[in-house]
Amino acid sequence: MRLFFAIWPPAPVALSLARLADTLAQRFGGRATRRETIHLTLAFLGDVEEEQLPAVLDVAREVTAKSFEMTFDRLGFWRHNRLIWAGGASVPPELQTLVVALRERLLAASLPCDASQSFVPHLTLVRKVGDSHPVLPQLSSMNWACDRFVLVRSQLGAGGAGYAIVAEFPLA
């Protein structure tokens, strides 16, 4: 099974980001992320054997991290993978600590974790953007209180990835 840890935005935030994603995809081409799949990835494991799931859950339970307030106030475009994303000008230290703890514990438990890229917190809004120089609008700042993270199972289908939340973990 294909797994990753993520933070899932509250419904009103996801709704306004999905509307924005639709607008951006119409303007610049590409595939907008659907409301129910907008998320912030913390650690991507990739394919994991079914029998490794208890060890993955143990890793998450052992991580002690604090809740934090996340602010999204800018849009970005990555040309190498043609993504438009929403992010924040600053990374809350609690978020950085959570990501480092998850990645370190996964690796210490000999579980897979893609640590090839440094962590840039982002919510992917549009994939396969057609325009190679999209002039992005300002993002009106939105905040949300992150008080939990989730383990997610990804299933790739014809219409893109479908995600199922496997377990939730509270932040102190």
Residues that bind ligand 2AM (CB under 6 A): 4, 41, 44, 83, 114, 124, 154
Is residue 102 packed enough to be buried (19+ CB in 10 Å), middle (13-18) or exposed (0-12)? buried
What angle, rounded to 10 degrees, do the helices at 93-108 and 53-62 form?
A: 140
Nearer to ligand 2AM, 65 or 124 (CB): 124
Q: Which is nearer to ligand 2AM, 68 or 87 (CB)?
A: 87
In the complex, least distance from residue 41 CB atom to ligand 2AM, rounded to whole angstroms:
4
Q: Are the CB atoms for 34 and 124 separated by under 8 Å?
A: no
> Quick one: 66 or 100, whose CB is closer to ligand 2AM?
100
**What does the alpha-carbon distance between residue 1 and residue 12 come to, in Å, rounded to a whole number?**
30
In the complex, what is the shortest distance from the CB of residue 71 to ligand 2AM, in angstroms, rounded to a whole number? 19
Q: How far is the CB of 124 from ligand 2AM (least distance, A)?
A: 3
Nearer to ligand 2AM, 64 or 130 (CB): 130
User: CA-to-CA distance for 82 and 51, rounded, in angstroms?
Assistant: 35
**Measured from the CB of residue 159, what is the shortest distance to ligand 2AM in angstroms?**
15
Task: State the Cα–Cα distance between residues 58 and 52, nearest whole angstrom.
Answer: 10
